[in-house]
Amino acid sequence: MKKLILILSAIVLLFWKSYGITVTPGGLESAMEATDVSTMTDLVIDGSVDARDFHFIASNMTSLKHLDLTNAKVEAYSGKEYLFANILNYGANELPVGCFAGMPLETILLPNTLVSVSDGAFAGCLSLSSISIPESVREIGDYAFSGDLLLVSANLGSGVTEIGDYTFSKCVALNEVNMPAVQIIGAYAFLGCEAMRVVDFSVDLIAIGEGAFKESGIVSANLKECRGLSVISAWAFADTKSLSTVVLPETVSTIGEGAFFYSTALEKAVLPEGVAVINNYAFGSTDQLLEDDFLPSTITKIGDYAFEDWHSVVKFVIPENVEFIGKGAFKDCEALSLLEAKPVVPPVLGEDVWENVDKTAIQLEVPIVSSAAYKNADQWRDFFFSGSFVEENIDYSKVKFTVNDDIITLTADAGLKGATIFDLSGIILVEKVVSSPSVSFDLSGYSAKAYIVRCVCADGIVKFIKFGVK
């Protein structure tokens, strides 16, 4: 009976072309010299291996589908020949660059002592369906799994803190990614991952690289708890045709160029107070954002073409601290009929901000104190002025001022950081940076009878006051 079992086992091993072996570093080739490795489909390796062994696998085991390295240890190797990517020195506990690239692997079990999955390690493995990264791994290199068309799931161990550039790019079937401790997501890491729907972002996340989720299938980006995140990088969520909701943490201050460009399903964007810059093309061609006042009051700059092609938007609110609006920012927003501009001083405008838009058909509402300034300002004067709203930002309890002939003195209980004097057309006349309770200006060199002053209090509160001189 025992003899029969041994015979049957040998038949099974022959059928599956499977092999198990214990090796020392660099010894895999000699240990298998009597074996037809070109037809081998299954391999279990115990012991220690180095870059020479990986090179032997990549060069000779062209039919290998299942590789078990669970009990193997990767040793360092320095040689005189280039084995992978023109590299002579290979680190311990690291997979060599591109070591399994293009192989027909369907499954692989990695050593639990591994610390790094190097660049391109599994790139173009067209049959690989899943990957589980050991807890020992700290980083996954650039292009590590790029182009793995059948990869459905990736379980990144709790030790992985960084995903490299293009790591999972063009993994079109990838729909499940577990990355509980990832702090850095590299540029274009999930580019073109069409099947990806839900991503659970780690609370430790501090950086999303350029184009990280571009052209992916993600439907929601809830980053509210990622309080180490300060920037949404350029093109990070561009061309995400299913993205409908974005919630950003209170730490974000900048929306990068094209960050949500052409995300045509985007209906809700929660931007926190503190966001100061909306860069070029940031929300261009989205057109589904329903909130007319989704921009926080802290916005100071709106970049070129930031909201172009919002063909359906009817009302838009420009927050009170906006100082600059870039070229073509509202290009082709032809349905716009009401524009509420809250800045007391008309924002400086780039070239043709409302290109292909009939401004005479748009009702412009501005602060009462600023009517003349907007009516005299380039591009602003072309709108239809039918009325103004009351500016709530004028709070004389925060800043007191006195006028004595041509001298104006401003005093704030909390202290002042600075003040700027404008004429009614929005031109800066004089500006001072201070650190004191009060500041004075001599306006004897100016002929205007009325001015607007912008006060920046020590507590960060900004107040606008309109005053006249005799």
Query: What is the Cα–Cα distance from 303 to 326, expressed in whole angstroms?
Result: 5
Provide the phi-psi class of 356: left if phi over 0, else alpha when psi is between -120 and 50, else beta. Answer: left
Query: What is the Cα–Cα distance from 193 to 100, expressed in whole angstroms?
Result: 21
pLDDT tens digits, residue range 425-445? 677 888 898 888 899 998 888
Query: What is the Cα–Cα distance from 170 to 188, expressed in whole angstroms?
Result: 10
Query: What is the Cα–Cα distance from 440 to 451, expressed in whole angstroms?
Result: 14
Helix (H/G/I), strand (E/B), else coil: 30? helix
User: Nearest to residue 81, comparing CAs of 123, 26, 120, 27?
Assistant: 26
Query: What is the Cα–Cα distance from 111 to 137, expressed in whole angstroms?
Result: 10
Query: What is the Cα–Cα distance from 341 to 444, expressed in whole angstroms?
Result: 31
Strands (E), 170-242: 176-178, 184-185, 207-208, 220-222, 231-232
How far CA 376 is from CA of 51, 111, 370, in Å, comes to 72, 71, 10
User: Nearest to residue 40, comparing CAs of 50, 52, 28, 51?
Assistant: 28
pLDDT of residue 391: 43
pLDDT of residue 412: 85
**Which parts of the chain register pLDDT below 50?**
1-17, 389-394, 396
Sign, CA dihedral 229-280-260-166, equals: negative
φ, ψ at 442 (rounded to 5°): -100, 115
| AA identity, residue 85 | A
CATH of domain 399-468: 2.60.40.3080
Give me the chain's average pLDDT, please: 90
| AA identity, residue 59 | S
DSSP state, residue 383: S
φ, ψ at 292 (rounded to 5°): -80, -15
pLDDT of residue 4: 39
